[in-house]
Amino acid sequence: MTKNIMIVGVGGQGTLLASKMLGRLLLNEGYDVKVSEVHGMSQRGGSVVTYVRFGDKVASPLIDKGQADFILSFEKLEAARWLSYLKEDGQIVLSDQEIDPMPVVTGAMSYPENLIEKMEATGAKVDAIPALQLAMEAGSVKAVNIVLMGRLSRYFPEIPEDSWMAALDAVVPPKFKEMNEKAFALGRAY
Amino acid sequence: MKELMLGNAAIARGMYEAGCRVVSSYPGTPSTEITEEAVKFPEIYCEWAPNEKVAVETAFGASLAGVRSACAMKHVGLNVAADPVFTISYIGVHGGMVICVADDPGMHSSQNEQDSRHYAKAAKIPMLEPADSEEALRFTKLAFDLSEEYNTPVFMKMCTRIAHSQSVVETGERVERETIPYVKDTHNVMTPANAKVRHPIVEERTRKLIDWAETAPVNRVEMGGTEIGIITSSTSYQYVKEVFGDSVSVLKLGMVWPLPEKLIRDFADKVGTLYVVEELDPFIEEHCRQMGLTVVGKEKLPICDEFSQNMLAEKFGLPVAPSRKLDEVIPVRPPVMCSGCPHRGIFYTLMKQKCTVIGDIGCYTLGSAAPLSAMDINICMGASVSAEHGFNVALGQESQNKTVSVIGDSTFVHSGMTSLCNIAYNQSASTVIILDNSITGMTGHQQNPTTGYNIKGDPAGKIDLEALCRSMGIERVRVVDPYDLAQCDAVLKEELSVDEPSVIISRRPCVLLKSVKTAPALHVDKDKCRGCKACMKMGCPSISMKDGKAAVDPTLCVGCGVCQQLCHFDALCR
């Protein structure tokens, strides 16, 4: 049975590092894995999405509507944008950060209010955490991705914490190891 | 060793293991990482060439010299490289030569959705098409072997979803190859007489490759239920497996040109209804029809856009998972020019002077978006400069005084230089703006001949843009700092008004370069701000309106100070 995790956010938020860590972890755990990324144009502050799929044998590199077991979102509006991809009983893990898109910046539109409540009203399970604050507490605003990884790890009791830490250490530079381990722990424990 | 590897990285790994020694490419999404990964192997000489034509010719030179060589480009890059490709097909190779081309169905980062398989057929060059990273690695090695065995360059065709997906590969060791000694051969001189000798040999080569394709393991039959039989390849194969599993039979093609006939006919005989599932054009489908087979293809499946598992399921009347939707308008989040982007000042000036702007390919294409909306036309690499010339010769004075072309440093060297030659030679009073941000930006910061560094970041030759333009005969060459709006405004006015060709070089490095030191974020003096929104006109993502006053996002602002020049009340402060 293939499991599907979507990682969504805004270009420049570090979603690619999160998918790299997740891919490494799942490969180490013995799964077949496919990770599909978006490069090029979308990096310039646009909406970005990465698909992570794992199981005995994964065929398609994509996740389609109604198929995501998890949506790991780095930003509130992005979770709402990709909500149609969530499986009926799927789980959203969310950083409660708000980043205004250009139509909001220019004043042409406003940032939608009460998004978490509205998503929950559709039956979606939403686990929202203040990932940006936790990342700052760990020592860097850039560690939001690792805070969210820590949070996501709680939903995989079958994968030991040590395995997550090994995957983390494999993808972050040694000089930021301690900071990132703290970020992971803060996300997991929040 | 088992590794999770990007499709493009797997191609580079395949080059390495196959003993490839020379790679020359021009960056282009989704092909760029092939060369960026290849350069990590010290055994392979890698370079960024000024354009795809140069890259192919360089790789071919290396092949003639007797070593295995490769190049990589995006689909539209193959248009640029097409001229040598068609004739290289006639000459044949010495060391194995692989041409990687990456299509972009769905146009994630491209200006058209062309299907590169037509080039394989037209240039009579075999084309392999992997369906995951493992095949990307294996097929690349096979491509070098086929190239030498059949005396032909070989295409490795990727698409965005294979190029930019990571999947599991098993890596092997590199096999070094002796340089094949060079021997002078008049048949390498493609005069009409020699080409006449070569053409029938090329046709014979294709016939031999068809024989190979009939039994080659890269083309495989996976028998399942026989009511439906599907011929497919690449990422479409993965969607077919995802949707149908073993409930249908599949002919999975790893070589999409030339196509086997007996294999396809035998497969068709074993199944009820024959379908072709392929993205973009009905390439395999038309081959089947030509063979007289009854096949269902594009009357059921779209030509436009990329496929997905749900799309396929729906077209075949199969159920898809239910999905939910918010009853809410979600504001779009398109890519934007970064805070502090040096292109912004120029596009603000062009907007202010109501210029007709003929644009080009790069980050600065984002100048077409609101609120700047300062781009009228955008075609392909280098086209801005030549199209501006045509625009101006057609309309004369009324156009010359308000029309400009804008082109990045890398794009100018790629194919804008020859266009500027036309302006210099035929003397239209055109104003060309070269946006020199000291890097190839959109594809992710590759060096180019104007930056002074090579692909490894080591010092390299550096083209002097001012001297280059002057040497072509452009006497008016001006340099402006795009952070200085008054200077941009004055220089643009002057150059548009003169009755001769001119070049304005807008020079400031990309703000995302590590070498660029940014200033502290600005803040708004709320007592001074009148909420006039003058600062909002340039579309900086750092500035928004909060409670009727401007607000600067301190996490985004890099203190470029362009907005300060728009504020009449000194409300934006350091």
- Give the model confidence (pLDDT) of B470-495 as tens digits: 999 999 999 999 999 999 999 999 99
CB B488 within 8 A of CB B515: no
Stated length of chain B: 574
Interface check for B543 against chain A (CB to CB < 8 A): the answer is yes
Q: What is the pLDDT of residue B556?
A: 87
Range(s) of chain B covered by CATH 3.40.50.920: 220-315
Peptide bond into A157 cis (omega under 30): no
Q: Could you identify the residue written with the tokens 């150059």?
A: B495
B318 touches chain A (CB under 8 A): no
* Mean pLDDT over each residue of chain B, to the nearest integer: 97
Which CATH superfamily hosts domain B343-507?
Thiamin diphosphate (ThDP)-binding fold, Pyr/PP domains (3.40.50.970)
Structure tokens at A21: 């860590």
Question: For the segment B310-323, what is each residue's pLDDT rounded down to a tens digit?
Answer: 999 999 999 999 99
Interval B60-91: pLDDT, tens: 999 999 999 999 999 999 999 999 999 999 99
SS3 (DSSP) at B523 = strand
| CATH node for B523-573 | 3.30.70.20
* CA-to-CA separations, A41 to B134, B336, B568, in angstroms, rounded: 27, 9, 34
- Looking at chain A from residue 52 to 71, which residues have their Cβ under 8 Å from any Cβ of chain B? 58-62, 64-67
Q: Which residue has the tokens 């979603």?
A: A15
What residue ranges of chain B are covered by domains with CATH 3.30.70.20?
523-573
CATH topology of domain B220-315: Rossmann fold (3.40.50)
Closest residue by Cα to residue B91 from B49, B119, B124 = B124
Residues 245-274 of B with CB under 8 A from A: none
Q: How many whole angstroms from its chain centre is CA B483?
A: 29
Question: Looking at the complex, does the CB of residue B366 fall below 8 Å from at least one CB of chain A?
Answer: yes
- Mean pLDDT confidence for A62-76: 97
The neighbour count for residue B79, using CB atoms within 10 Å, is 18
**Within the 429-448 window of chain B, which residues sit less than 8 Å (CB to CB) from chain A?**
442-444
Q: What is the pTM of this model?
A: 0.96
Question: What residues of chain A lie within 8 A of the CB of B328, using their CB?
Answer: 80, 112, 115, 118
Do B100 and B158 contact (CB within 8 A), yes or no?
yes
Lowest mean pLDDT among B166-175, B497-506, B537-546: B537-546
Q: B184-188, B196-200, B434-438, B497-501: which has the minimum mean pLDDT?
A: B184-188
Instruction: Give me the pLDDT at residue A45, please.
Output: 80
In chain B, residues with a C-beta closer than 8 Å to the C-beta of A171 are none
- With contacts defined as CB-CB under 8 Å, which chain A residues touch B161? 36, 61-62
End-to-end CA distance of chain A: 30
Containing B344, the helix (H) or strand (E) segment is helix B343-352
Q: Where in chain B is the domain with CATH 3.40.50.970?
A: 2-215, 343-507
Average pLDDT over residues B271-298: 98
Question: Poorest-confidence range of B7-16, B36-45, B327-336, B496-505?
Answer: B327-336
With CA atoms as reference, report the closest residue to B157 among B98, B88, B200, B210: B98
Give the domains, in start order, of chain A with CATH numbers: 3-189 (3.40.920.10)
For A88, which of B161, B322, B366 is closest by C-beta distance? B322
The pair phi, psi for residue B279, each rounded to 5°, is -75, 155
Instruction: Kindly state whether A6 is in contact with chain B, defined as any CB-CB distance less than 8 angstroms.
Output: no
- CB of B548 less than 8 A from some CB of A: no
Cα separation values, A128 from A8, A188, B431, Å: 14, 12, 53
How does pLDDT run across B372-387, given as a tens digit for each residue? 999 999 999 999 999 9
Average pLDDT, chain A: 94
Across the interface, whether the CB atoms of B324 and A23 are under 8 A apart is answered no
* Cβ distance of B541 and A45 shorter than 8 Å: yes
Q: How far apart are CA B393 and CA B390, in angstroms?
A: 5
Contact assessment for residue B98 and residue B141, using Cβ atoms and an 8 Å cutoff: no
Work out the percent of chain B whose per-residue pLDDT is above 70.
100
Q: In which band, very low, low, confident or very high, does the pLDDT at B338 lie, cut at 50, 70 and 90?
A: very high
Complete DSSP assignment for B381-421:
TTHHHHHHHHHHHHHTHHHHTTEEEEEEHHHIIIIIHHHHH
Amino acid A13: pLDDT: 86
Contact B80, B51 (CB under 8 A): yes
Contacts of B101 (CB under 8 A, 6+ apart): B31, B72, B73, B74, B75, B77, B78, B116, B119, B155, B156, B157, B158
Q: Which fold has domain B2-215?
A: Rossmann fold (3.40.50)
Q: A41 falls in which pLDDT band (50, 70, 90)?
A: low
Q: How many beta-carbon pairs below 8 A join chains A and B?
A: 186
Q: Quick check: A175 contacting B, CB < 8 Å? A: no
Check if the beta carbon of residue A123 is closer than 8 Å to that of residue A87. Answer: no
User: Which pLDDT score, from 0 to 100, does residue B313 have?
Assistant: 98
- Rg (alpha carbons) of chain A, rounded to whole number: 16
Distance CA A156, CA B574 (A): 48
The nearest CA of chain B is from the CA of A183 a distance in Å of 19
Beta strands B165-170 and A32-36 are antiparallel
Please give the average per-residue pLDDT across B2-23, as a whole number: 97
Average of per-residue pLDDT across A159-175 = 96
How many Å apart are CA A18 and CA A26, to the nearest integer? 12
Please name the member of B3, B4, B325 whose beta carbon is closest to the beta carbon of A35.
B4
Work out the minimum CA distance from A186 to partner chain B, whole angstroms: 22
Q: Is the peptide bond before B258 cis (omega within 30 degrees of 0)?
A: yes
- Tell whether B378 lies on the interface with A, counting CB pairs under 8 A: no
A42 pLDDT more than 60: no
Question: Which chain B residue has its CA at the smallest distance from A124's CA?
Answer: B324
Chain B interface includes A122 (CB < 8 A): yes
The verdict on a CB contact (< 8 Å) between B545 and A118 is no
Cβ neighbours of B443 in A, within 8 Å: 40
* Cross-chain Cβ contact A88/B2 below 8 Å: no
pLDDT of residue A107: 81
Tokens of B153: 């360059």
Closest by CA position to B508, among listed B343, B339, B365: B343
Task: Give the best residue of A39, A58, A78, A88 to mutate against chain B (max B CB count within 10 A).
Answer: A39
CA atoms within 13 A on the CB side of B287: 22
Facing A40 at nearest CB: one of B109, B161, B320: B109
Is the distance from CB of B244 to CB of B311 less than 8 angstroms? no
Closest alpha carbon to A17 in A139, A173, A128: A173
CA distance B427 to chain A (A): 36
Q: Report pLDDT for B546.
A: 87
Q: Do B320 and A66 touch (CB under 8 A)?
A: yes
Q: What is the model's pLDDT at position A102?
A: 87
- Give the separation between CA B216 and CA B264, rounded to whole angstroms: 13
pLDDT band at A43 (very low <50, low <70, confident <90, very high): low
- Does B168 have pLDDT greater than 90? yes
Least reliable range by pLDDT among B99-103, B221-225, B363-367: B363-367
Under DSSP, is residue B313 helix (H, G, I), strand (E, B) or coil?
A: helix
For residues B111 and B381, give the distance between their C-alpha atoms in angstroms, rounded to a whole number.
Answer: 10
ipTM for the predicted complex: 0.95
Query: Which residues of chain A make contact with B170, given a CB cutoff of 8 A?
Result: none
Chain B residues 463-522 within an 8 A CB cutoff of chain A: none
